[in-house]
Amino acid sequence: MEEPVQNVVATTPLPKPAALQQPRPPGAPVSDTLRAPVFDTKNVSIYYGSFLAVTDVSLTIYENEITAFIGPSGCGKTTVLRTLNRMNDLVPSARVEGDVNYRGVSVYGPDVSATAVRRRIGMVFQKPNPFPKSIYDNIAYGPRINGERKRTKLDEIVERSLRQAALWDEVKDRLNKSGLTLSGGQAQRLCIARTLAVEPDVVLMDEPCSALDPIATAAIEDLMREIKSRYTIVIVTHNMQQATRISDRTAFYSVLRDEKSDTRTGVLVEYDRTENIFQNPRDSRTQAYVTGRMG
Amino acid sequence: MAVTAEQPKVDLREPPSWRRTKNRIATALMVLALVLVMIPLGFVLYTVISKGASTISWSFLTSSIPPQVALANQGGIGPAVLGTIEITGLATLMAVPLGVLGAIYLNEYGGKGVLARLIGFMADVMTGVPSIVMGLFIFSIWVLHFGFSGLAGAFALGCLMLPIVIRSTDEMLKLVPDPLREASYALGATKARVTLTVVLPAAIGGIVSGALLAVARAAGETAPLLFTILTVTAANPNVFSGADTALPSQIFVNASSPYVGAQARAWGAALTLIAIAFILMIAARTVTARFTRYSR
């Protein structure tokens, strides 16, 4: 039952609505009516055991946009991100309440496989985590687990993914060297290339630049702008300049502290177009955060 | 303009202090510990080589075992070499796959469940079972019904190896960083895939080392063989039935014999056993070096 679906993902990119196949010309206004919602969450709360980590998250993430999650440490940005592709399933005590819909289907529905979800919704982590395998095998890993065996096809995917991640020129002569020999920025681009190799629909990025220097960060931001015409990107970042530089929409999370039990719970404070969040926020907490008076 | 007043000299030397003395004492203690460890090892090697080297020859390794009264330069230990290779090999085939699978269950699948904790606890208890008890165990459940055989010896050695393989593999799997597993899951891999293509390859070096320690330990065990293979002098190429022999038990029989020739053959057999363990170690290192070439 599962296998054929997976193979379809491996060989053909997911169909997108006809109106969206043309990338938006630079500078053209973002129109909500044109863009299809990719994620639609309603009243999502996430628990670790009995601890309520984040509550009341309702937002809609649109296709071919970059959506940034910002907020102080411990506000649950990463937790929400990891809920979108069910990575939190790997934490035994984690529990999700509310609706997380991906293209109209509940991600936590009864016969939904976490594996099938993750094949469409890839993830790049905070610390680069290349496999202890060759650069080539790192990229070919995803296509291989999706059943691609043909060497010529794999060669093509490896080159295409590394080019997309702006890493091809630096590594094309040493594809059989270990992925662990790369520098931090290169390793992170390798991890992005590895994610792109399975042609996901959505790429989730959890502070992908926090371990990188400004030059490597700029390279990755360029890369994100480059690929957003074909992917939907959700990025968690601590860097507000980064959010303003690259994102179309921004979600600001904050922490509610319960004085009595001394527990902290993350909440989604405000979600809007990035320029509104930074120039014209509706909530005073957002205002305080983006102007640097809090957090 | 840039002329400044002469700077006072900065003294960056370690001041004489108690800290410096402690450092020296600790270093001396560590060197002493190393020497103390090397003394018995060196002495064992020296004795075995000096007494056994003159006996070793190709015909010693391959000819049949003579009566104990035979002179030192007569006969050999061929059946015991064959028996050791067969019995240890069979035990390895039983214990290593089972132990590695068990450790994978403990670490990747069992989590903190009751079954996983029970298996982990049992493995620890099993490590502490004296090897002669293991021999008696196989004697009572197998040998009494099916008779002495190399297979029975392999069962006993396998039981000894199993907990070592489980524990060492478990430790190695624990060292595989979770971000690697997450990277694989995020690409849509199933748990079995993650285990087979990421976790095991990342830990393979340590797993092989641990398995080898278990093999080396089992190859040198005498007690569990006494009750399971009987230790005869006749060659028995069929490891699955009939009394058999192996190097450790042959050493035991020969060394406790009053005849000088038999004692010399015991030294030769001891050296052979050490050499087999040594060759195994080198072979395993070479193999794992190939597997782990991407992990640095």
pLDDT beyond 60 at A6:
no
Asked if pLDDT for residue B79 goes beyond 70, the answer is yes
pLDDT tens-place string over residues A46-69: 999 889 999 989 999 999 999 999
Tell me how far apart the alpha carbons of residues A80 and A71 are, in angstroms, rounded to a whole number: 12
ipTM confidence score:
0.83
Nearest Cα residue to A77 out of A234, A199, A285: A234
The pLDDT mean for chain A works out to: 85
Q: A194-239: per-residue pLDDT in tens?
A: 999 999 999 999 999 888 888 888 888 998 998 889 899 999 998 8
pLDDT band at A26 (very low <50, low <70, confident <90, very high): very low
Q: Which residues of B touch A195 (CB under 8 A)?
A: 186-187
AA letter at A93? S
Query: How many Cβ atoms sit within 10 Å of the Cβ of residue A94?
Result: 18
pLDDT at A258 over 90: no
* pLDDT tens profile A69-84: 999 888 889 999 999 9
The answer to whether the CB atoms of A142 and B188 lie below 8 A apart is yes
- In terms of Cβ atoms closer than 10 Å to its own Cβ (0-12, 13-18, 19+), residue B294 is buried
pTM above 0.90, yes or no: no
In this predicted structure, the answer to whether residue B54 has a pLDDT above a threshold of 70 is yes
Residue A33's pLDDT is 54
Q: A123: which chain B residues are within 8 Å (Cβ-Cβ)?
A: 182, 186
With an 8 Å Cβ cutoff, is A189 touching chain B?
Answer: no
Mean pLDDT over B270-280 rounds to 91
Give the pLDDT mean for B99-117. 90
Write the DSSP assignment of B110-173 as a string of letters: STT-HHHHHHHHHHHHHHTS-HHHHHHHHIIIIIHHH-SBHHHHHHHHHHHHHHHHHHHHHHHH
The per-residue pLDDT for A9 is 40
> CA–CA separation, A125 vs A115, rounded Å?
18
Say if the Cβ atoms of A132 and B197 lie within 8 Å.
no
Question: Whole-angstrom Cα distance, residue B247 to residue A188?
Answer: 54
Distances (CA, A) of B105 to B83, B127, B169, B202, B204: 33, 18, 11, 17, 16
Most A-contacting residue of B112, B178, B187, B196 (CB-CB within 10 A), to test interface: B187
Share of chain A above pLDDT 90, in %: 58
How, if at all, do strands A249-258 and A51-62 pair? unpaired
Predicted local distance difference test score (pLDDT) of residue A7: 41
Residues across chain B:
296
Q: What value does the mean pLDDT take over residues B122-129?
A: 91
CB of B121 within 8 A of CB of B210?
A: no
Is 90 exceeded by the pLDDT of residue A22? no
**Of A199, A195, A200, A267, residue with least CA distance to A208:** A195
Residues B182 and A123: their CA atoms lie apart, in Å, by 9
Q: Is residue B30 over pLDDT 90?
A: yes
Whether A141 and chain B come into contact, CB under 8 Å, resolves to yes
Can you tell me whether residue A72 is helix, strand or coil? coil
Please count the residues of chain A. 295
Return the SS3 of A251.
strand
Q: Which strand ranges, in their side-by-side order, compose the sheet holding A263-273?
A: A105-106, A94-102, A37-48, A51-62, A263-273, A249-258, A66-70, A232-236, A202-206, A121-124
Q: Compute the C-alpha angle A10/A3/A123, nearest 5°.
A: 50
The dihedrals phi and psi of A229, each to the nearest 5 degrees, come to -70, -15
Q: How far is CA B185 from CA A42, A134, B190, B294, in A?
A: 25, 19, 7, 21
- The nearest CA of chain B is from the CA of A289 a distance in Å of 31
DSSP string for residues in B56-73: --HHHHHSPPPPTTS-TT
Assess whether pLDDT exceeds 80 at residue A13: no
Whether A247 has a pLDDT exceeding 90, the answer reads yes
- Percentage of chain B surpassing pLDDT 70? 98
Put simply, the answer to whether B189 touches A195 (Cβ < 8 Å) is no
pLDDT over threshold 70, residue A1 = no
> Which DSSP symbol is given to B222?
-
Task: Give the pLDDT of residue A30.
Answer: 53
Which residues of chain A lie closer than 8 angstroms to B203, CB-CB? none
